Structure 1
């Protein structure tokens, strides 16, 4: 009789464990994730799913462990084949770059695809965190990460300053663009308390000597690898028009990591602090 009771108790215990395991699996049972946005990748990692990432786009440079994860291309020109070759059970992307035809291919083969809108603001980052957490079925972890961001934002002290900042995207002297309004650079410069020196246009446009004279920035802002591609500050000063600006005369050039500066992921407040600190130094 005692043996029957023990066996029954064991069966009940096993059933409870199995149900608990199934519940965890149902909640978190996402085994293979492909992320097609650097900020989304950071959020996925911050929510504890770093090990589930089997593929990322090339903007996914943080955390450093992403160097070991398969790259599927730049989010501006993703094709379906390399993504699907990784056999994901979840694809996460933002709607600003991925072609609708590619999204359709993902859905046609039955892969769960979650497309989110990325807004380049602190509020937009919080919304993105909430949406990624919902896709991963861990809303409570998303809420905790948003609260952490709230605390960082409340502790942030930024004083507005009259400095005009011009962001230059460079891949050597042959490829140089400036960031206008409605770009992540425009938004982060404003959050750091300064002004975008490029006005009168949205998005990016090629750098010209005339535009430099018109903008006359106090500070030039660049990605660290962008300035490196120019041969450092000395190489940048050889570009026609740069040396004639206030920034050029004072050799005031700020460099930052590209994904930190423009990602608007969980490190957005850190990015604002770093940029504001460099503007004030």
Structure 2
């Protein structure tokens, strides 16, 4: 069960992207936005962040299907799950007779997307980058596709303000903490985040420093590397259902046990879709992580 769950999530969070630089969020050029769907009465949303945006823009009741990564808001549990975003079966998507499909960049496999395109269901692919600007681009693309540009700009302004306020919390922190994001510890081997990931983007937005350098995506790191980087904090997803490495498992790894993070009990666990989703709740997630990283050092 652990391996079956982990691989899809690894594929989801390893899409490349950049971290936020500054607090300026320019509006997208009109030419960059999709044309609105002719019929939004039966939507399918592939991508948890897109599903959240659809609800925020008032079209939740039009959703007939959503992918497995769509877990918020709670109402999504009443909507047909058409499969995991990276392992889509066209039959599952088409089974709900969609009038339009919203697809997060990186969804697939390519042959499944080809079948959906040949089915002549209108489809918009929404770009994905792990930054504040990337979140706003998602909102604007989704809003344009739904014919809700004005609502999308209102939502984008609110989300931009939330992110700006959250990032300012750590603007005056003098000493940045080094954070090791661990995706899994199967067989005692640490699978950690390098650059170009949702985890890396979130760590930087919350004022931390990714303890791992030199590669993109996720990679198993050796005990020697763990000892060398000596992270101040270990960050992990809280997935429940016995899917996460326990504190005892961290302690059982001699290299991890010797790090300042484990020695000082600085292990942070957050809901994966909340922490790494890069949707409308990003500002709140950045704020929560920043406060856990720096405690009383950050403004409230």
TM-score class, shorter: 0.7 to 0.9
148 and 230 in structure 1: CA distance in 2 versus 1, 3 angstrom threshold: closer
Q: How does 1:220-235 map to 2 (within 5 A)?
A: 220-225=234-239, 228-230=242-244, 232-235=246-249
Distance change >3 Å, CA 252–CA 85, structure 1 → 2: same
Give the one of 152, 164, 169 matched to 1:158.
Answer: 169
Q: Is the 8 A contact 1:172 1:229 kept in 2?
A: no
Report how far residue 172 of structure 1 moved: 5.5
CA 1:226–1:180 in structure 2 vs 1: closer, same or farther (change >3 Å)? farther
Is 2:37–2:145's contact at 8 Å kept on the other side of the alignment?
Answer: no
Cα distance change of structure 1 residues 102 and 131 upon mapping to structure 2, 3 Å threshold: same
Residue 227 of structure 1: how far off its partner (Å): 9.8
Which is bigger in relative contact order (C-alpha 8 A, separation at least 6)? Answer: 2
> Gaps spanning 5+ residues in structure 2: where?
1-35, 296-300
Q: CA deviation at 1:139?
A: 0.9
8 Å contact from structure 1 (residues 170, 226) kept in 2: no
**What is the alpha-carbon root mean square deviation over aligned residues?**
2.1
2-side partners of 1:175 and 1:259: how far apart?
24
Partners of 1:227 and 1:246 in 2: CA distance: 28
1:85 aligns with: 95
Alpha-carbon distance in structure 2 between the residues aligned to 1:170 and 1:67: 26
Distance 2:84 2:185 in 1: 16
User: Residue 102 of structure 1 aligns with which residue?
Assistant: 112
Q: Which has the larger radius of gyration?
A: 1
Q: Which 10-residue stretch deviates more, 231-240 or 104-113?
A: 231-240
Following TM superposition, by how much is the alpha carbon of 1:72 offset from its aligned partner in structure 2, in angstroms? 2.1
Which stretch of structure 1 is more off in the superposition, 90-99 or 119-128?
A: 90-99
Report matched runs for 1:37-52 at 5 Å.
Answer: 37-52=47-62
The residue matched to 1:235 in structure 2 has which SS? Answer: helix
Tell whether 2:151 aligns with 1:124.
Answer: no
Partners of 1:169 and 1:226 within 8 A in 2: no
**Are 1:202 and 2:216 an aligned pair?**
yes
d(CA) in 2 for partners of 1:170 and 1:45?
A: 31
1:176: Cα distance to partner?
4.7
- Asked if structure 1 preserves the Cα contact closer than 8 Å seen for 2:184 and 2:245, the reply is no
Which of residues 72, 75, 82 in structure 2 aligns to 1:72?
Answer: 82
1:192 paired residue number: 206
Q: Distance in 2 between matches of 1:175 and 1:136?
A: 44
Q: Which residue of 2 aligns with 1:30?
A: 40
State whether residues 46 and 107 of structure 2, in contact with CA within 8 Å, keep that contact through their aligned partners in structure 1: no
Single out whichever of 217-226 and 256-265 deviates more from structure 2: 217-226
State the TM-score, normalized to the length of structure 1: 0.84
